[in-house]
Amino acid sequence: MNRHSGDDQIFKERLGGDARNSWRRHEGVHRCFVLPDVYAGKGTRVEISHPSLADESRYLRNRFGVRPHPALIVFLLAQRQDISENLRISHGRLTHWASAHAGRRTVKIVTGRDNNYDDYVAIRYTDAAARLKSFSAAARECGVSQPTVSAAVADLEATLGTALFLRGRRMLELTSTGTRLLPRIAEVLDAVNALQAESRDLASTARSELRIGFTPLAGAARVAALLDPFTKQHPETRMFFFELSVVELESRLSAGQLDVIIGCGFRRVRTHKRLKLLSDTLVLCSKDAEIEGLTAVQLATASKCCLLLTEDICGLATATRGLFESAGLNLEAYPGRAMSYGALEDWVELGLGSAVMPRYHVRNRAIAHSLQDAVGVPLALEVEAVWKSPLASAEHAASFLTYLHRVAPTFAREMNY
End-to-end Cα spacing for the chain: 68
The pLDDT value recorded for residue 200 is 66
pLDDT at 97: 39
Q: What is the DSSP string of 297-324?
A: EEHHHHTTSEEEEE-TTSSHHHHHHHHH
Domain 117-196 has CATH 1.10.10.10: yes
Using an 8 Å Cβ cutoff, are 165 and 129 in contact?
yes
User: Is residue 142 within 8 Å of residue 82, measured between CB atoms?
Assistant: yes
Asked if 135 and 150 touch (Cβ cutoff 8 Å), the reply is yes
Q: What pLDDT sits at residue 206?
A: 53
Q: How far is CA 276 from CA 61, 215, 262, in A?
A: 64, 15, 10
Residue 288: partners with Cβ closer than 8 Å, 6 or more residues away: 305, 354
Q: Can you give the pLDDT at residue 60?
A: 54
The type of residue at 387 is W
Distance, in Å, from the CA atom of 381 to the CA atom of 283, rounded to the nearest integer, reads 11
Domain boundary assignment for the chain: 51-80, 117-196, 212-416
Tens-level pLDDT at each residue, the chain (417 residues): 334 444 445 444 444 444 344 444 433 333 333 333 333 333 333 344 444 555 555 655 565 555 555 555 544 444 443 333 333 333 344 444 344 444 433 333 333 333 444 677 888 899 999 999 999 888 888 877 888 888 888 888 877 888 899 887 778 889 999 999 989 888 888 888 877 777 766 665 555 789 999 999 998 889 999 999 999 998 888 889 999 999 899 999 988 889 999 999 899 998 899 999 999 999 999 998 888 888 899 999 999 999 999 988 888 999 999 999 999 999 999 999 998 899 999 999 999 999 999 999 999 999 999 999 999 999 999 999 999 988 877 788 889 999 999 999 888 887 766
Instruction: Kindly give the interhelix angle for 51-64 and 70-78, rounded to the nearest 10 degrees.
Output: 110
Which pTM does this prediction carry?
0.53
| Distance between CA atoms of residues 257 and 274, nearest Å | 18
Element (H or E) spanning 179, and its range? helix 176-206
SS3 state of residue 106: strand
Count CA within 13 A, CB hemisphere, residue 185.
Answer: 25
d(CA 146, CA 363): 57
CB distance 192 to 239 below 8 Å: no
Which residues fall within 8 angstroms of residue 7, CB to CB, at 6 or more apart? 66, 68, 69, 72
Spell 182-192 as b/e; 16+ CB within 10 A means b.
Answer: beebeeebeee
Give CA–CA dist 384/215, Å, rounded: 11
**pLDDT at site 312:** 81
Residue 336, helix vs strand vs coil: strand
* Distance of alpha carbon 79 from the chain centroid: 22
Q: φ, ψ for residue 385 (rounded to 5)?
A: -105, 135
Phi first, then psi, for residue 309 (nearest 5°) are -125, 155
Of the candidates 27, 25, 78, the residue with the CA atom closest to the CA atom of residue 50: 78
* CATH for 212-416, options being 3.20.20.105, 3.90.950.20, 2.60.120.200, 3.40.190.290: 3.40.190.290
Q: How far apart are CA 78 and CA 87, in angstroms?
A: 8
Q: What is the CA radius of gyration of the chain?
A: 30
**What integer pLDDT is reported at residue 386 of this predicted model?**
96
Q: What is the pLDDT of residue 54?
A: 55
